[in-house]
Amino acid sequence: MGDYLIVGLSTDDFNILKHKQSFYSYPDRKVILESVRYVDKVIPEVSWEQKEKDILKYQVDTFVMGHDWTGKFDELKSFCEVIYLPRTDGISSTIIKDNLRGNF
């Protein structure tokens, strides 16, 4: 979809505000994402409101989210193209976390 991929990665504090908890810490998740050859830049996501600022700051042409967020970021369409991609069938981060914790 593009030639430069920027990934907004929720910080641990932002996850707390969203009532979520990651299996790995922000620094560890950042290293994992940075190791993916298609990822060019990882930026910390600290609030919902920063998306518009990041789009302008990094001159983003296309904003992509999972389809479960359809419609939630349509206000960004005045700044860039917004695309909602289908999630991968059979992949659940909740199931993965439960398995890693031995709760399966």
Per the annotation, the verdict on 20 as an active-site residue is yes
SS3 25: coil
Per the annotation, the verdict on 18 as an active-site residue is yes
Closest CA to 84 of 59, 63, 55: 63
Domains and CATH numbers, the chain: 6-101 (3.40.50.620)
- Condensed to tens digits (0 to 9), the pLDDT of residues 53-102 reads 999 999 999 999 999 999 999 999 999 999 999 988 777 666 777 777 77
pTM (predicted TM-score): 0.83
SS3 53: helix
Which entry of 20, 53, 77, 97 is annotated as an active-site residue?
A: 20
